[in-house]
Structure formats: C-alpha cells, structure tokens
Amino acid sequence: MSWFSDSFLCVLLGCTHTLEFTLPTSETLQVVVRESDSILERCQILPDSPAQRDLIEWLAENKNGWKKTPVSYASSSDVSISGKTFSINFIDQTVVIFYNLQQFDHAVDPKQYQSLICSNYK
C-alpha cells in the first residue's frame, strides 16, 4: 500500500499518532483570543514564562491520541498560538496543531487552555 492510501485510510478510520512536536523554547509566540469571530485579545508568550511552561507541560502530557486531519480550523479558533513554523489552535473541545506541513487534532477540555488566555497571565 502507498503512503497516500495509508494516510487516507487513517483519516477515514481515525488512526491515532504520537505527536512529535516540540515547542521552540527560545521563540516569542503570538497569541490571539477570539469570540464569535471577533478578536478579544492579542498578546505574546515569552520564552521561559509561566504560560510557556504551562503549554510545554500540556503538550508533554498530551503526546498520544492525535489524529491527522485534512480539515482547516484556524479561522474559527478560540485561542490561537503561533510561532515561525507552527500554529496551535484551541477550538472549543478540540486542539489542532499544524507543523511540518501536517495537521493533527486532539480532544481537549476548554479548562485546560484557560491559562493561555492573555488576561489570565498578564
């Protein structure tokens, strides 16, 4: 079977993956918080900040159970975090990570990303 057909079957059948993404620790990240398609807040997550440590910890605790997805969610995200080569988008009960020209999603409890909302860590 070819790589394309294997990937297509995984999308259809819901194969899960271990996320091999590592957050760049020396990069300042851009955060956008939205509600009903309106931007509420913009801020940054600085290197070695509590928000960065929370995000690194969350990624480490949630490395398993990711699904490849061809669907684009980015414009509808509640909290969007972006760096030079990736984006992390929290949308209600789903988180979507785009990196290395691939996109993965994972179920998430919205309480898990509340600490990443700008007004909660300024």
> Alpha-carbon distance 31 to 119, whole Å?
11
pLDDT tens for 17-46 read 898 899 999 999 999 998 887 899 999 999
Residue 54, token pair as written in the block: 């929370």
Q: Which residues of the chain have pLDDT under 70?
A: 1-14, 71-76, 121-122
State the average pLDDT for the chain: 84
Q: Which of 122, 113, 102 minimizes the C-alpha distance to 58?
A: 113
